Amino acid sequence: MEASTASRLREQAESLSALSTRHLTLGTRLKLANDDLSVNAYPTEFGGFVYVGTPCYRIPDEPDLASIFEIAELAGVAWLKFDSEAELIDGLPIFDWVGC
């Protein structure tokens, strides 16, 4: 039973990519922190998890996040993990802001 259960669990796995919170504007970062984004999100102390879906289930109202969703969908990424210490992704805008 363990092998079949593990196999079944693996079938339900979804991809996740980690990226810097610096790819978000201050307004979007604050919405993420306050659990107020236009899409499903789960804030953490240093960023948060945002559900994209495969295919993308909804286009965010936040323009910076919408452009990231477009790339994530092309890449087949279902989840985004925004983290203050995660890598910057070449080709995505970088927003330098202070105090958040």
* pLDDT exceeds 90 at position 97: no
Contact 32, 38 (CB under 8 A): no
Taking only the tens place, the pLDDT of each residue in 16-42 is 999 999 999 999 999 999 999 999 999
Tokens of 77: 């990424």
Instruction: Name residues whose C-beta falls within 8 Å of residue 57's C-beta, 6 or more positions apart in sequence.
Output: 39, 51
Q: Given pLDDT bands bounded at 50, 70 and 90, which one contains residue 99?
A: low
Residue 68 CA to residue 73 CA, distance in Å, equals 9
Residue 82 CA to residue 46 CA, distance in Å, equals 8
pLDDT of residue 1: 61
